[in-house]
Amino acid sequence: MDLSKKLGLLLGPIFFFILLNLPNTLVSEKGDAVIAVAVWMVVWWITEAVSISVAALLPLILFPLLKIMPINEVGANYGSPIIFLFFGGFVMALALEKVNLHKRIALNIIRITGTTPNKVVLGFMIATAALSMWISNTASTVVMLPIAMSVIGLLVNDADGFTKDDRNFALNVMLGIAFSANAGGIATVIGTPPNSILIGLLENEYNIEISFLKWMVIGLPFSIIMVTICYLVLVKWFFPNKQLKFTGSRQIIQEELKKLGPMSRKEKMVLTIFGITVFLWIFRTLINSIFPSLGLSDTIISMIAAVSLFAIPFNLKKGEFIIGWSDTEKLAWGILILFGGGLALAEGMSTSGIVDMVASAISTSEISILFTASLLILLMLFMTELMSNVALVAVLAPVVAGIAIGLGVPLLYLLIPVTIASSCAFMLPMATPPNAIVFASGYIKVYQMARVGIVLNLISVVLLILLFQFVIPLLF
């Protein structure tokens, strides 16, 4: 174990006990306890002193002991619907991998986008962002990850071993997928849950409707700009791979495609289930409006796909199915626990009044509207590094609406950039599902993601302030 891990292992609980025993309260007794738990978790997450999934279990132990929440309420976060959305996505990824469909797609993507390293990275980023516009960023990342793993396996594990340029290429592909999944979801109303939460709040509470097209007028250009910036920051600044050559890659691709042969019946079944799932994700709102009693959600659709892959027989006589439960040994169970911990922490922050206190302090201070907007964007963007952006928007959006009313600013001016900020968390693995999913690949260290992420976070803040100041007033 290296020094940073040893220090992290000790400093986590030390900071926890110091914060619990401060002579003066920072927020409230319960609020201070939540902050103490959060600091312990963050120290272990950043230093990777223990598995980040183990660190995510701390609320399950500490929240009941510190009387923050009873264990049944804490535990409910580890089995929330969003966890099962991830589970269904992971099962689909397993099926794609098992039937080798991910490899076929990967090879065809490289064949289309070109085989120079930067073109491959750009190809993955464009494909992921485009997918993330219509299905959840989790689902798009889960689909792209095995394809990326296949590409990295094909093109970097060559005769010269795993060189620095190879590592940089792997980092660019993995981080590129995560960041473009986050940014791609901003483009449409259905692209990411925070957008939907905002639309629901505005319609239900304030009778303000934002059409699908109107959102895209703001979201799509922002998304394209952000994906472009992510690409340039990765391949030109942090992880350039100038010396990397994919020698004979075209030949390798042709040979591998030849080995795969024509698409098998099993591949066609997986592709059909995947296609139907994507169709349902895209048209869920329309289907629910036609059949109001149906009540389809992303999680239900995801679980239908997962159960179908387990239950639809490939060969009924032999009792063979597309995937069996034994295949789930490869499933990233730790990531599911990680997000349960994030959701529990979010609820702890909400119930203890921390979020309300911070927002209230901003609204009552005598500062300019531009400065208030900038602070709210910063608050949302950096808090979403530690909390579920869905939970954070659900808690903060009504408060931000109250602040806007108090300041005499149109609701949309503040709410749109603050909501978009929740999808711009690029720093930490636990910040968004895409970050966590690519982190699980093993190619990325936390400090590497954090170095690039802090730069992208600050660029996002600047872009969102410009959006608040100049763009939104023109459109609304």
Residue 243 has pLDDT above 60, yes or no: yes
pLDDT, position 155? 60
pLDDT, position 162? 63
Residue 225 has pLDDT above 80, yes or no: yes
pLDDT, position 442? 81
346 and 21 Cβ atoms separated by less than 8 Å: no
Which segment of 62-71, 205-214, 454-463, 465-474 scores lowest on mean pLDDT? 205-214
263 and 107 Cβ atoms separated by less than 8 Å: no
Reported as a single tens digit per residue, the pLDDT across 173-207 is 999 999 999 999 899 877 787 887 787 778 767 77
pLDDT > 70 fraction of the chain, expressed in percent and rounded? 89
Residue 416's pLDDT band (boundaries 50, 70, 90)? very high
pLDDT, position 240? 87
Residue 148 has pLDDT above 90, yes or no: no
Q: Which residues contact 444 (CB under 8 A, 6 or more apart)?
A: 171, 174, 175, 429, 438
Reported as a single tens digit per residue, the pLDDT across 310-329 is 998 887 777 788 888 888 88
Residue 245 has pLDDT above 70, yes or no: no
Residue 222's pLDDT band (boundaries 50, 70, 90)? very high
pLDDT, position 183? 94
Taking the model in full, what pTM does it have? 0.67
Amino acid in position 122: L
pLDDT, position 359? 63
Residue 45 has pLDDT above 80, yes or no: no
Residue 65 has pLDDT above 60, yes or no: yes
pLDDT, position 463? 96
- In degrees and rounded to multiples of 5, residue 161 shows phi and psi of 80, -165
pLDDT, position 180? 95
Residue 246's pLDDT band (boundaries 50, 70, 90)? low
Residue 453 has pLDDT above 90, yes or no: yes
- In degrees and rounded to multiples of 5, residue 386 shows phi and psi of -110, -15
pLDDT, position 415? 93
Amino acid in position 466: L
Q: Which long-range contacts (CB under 8 A, 24 or more apart) does 54-62 make?
A: 55/12, 55/341, 56/337, 56/338, 56/339, 56/340, 56/341, 56/342, 56/430, 57/337, 57/341, 58/341, 59/341, 59/344, 59/345, 59/348, 60/341, 60/344, 62/33, 62/37
Reported as a single tens digit per residue, the pLDDT across 152-168 is 776 655 556 567 777 88
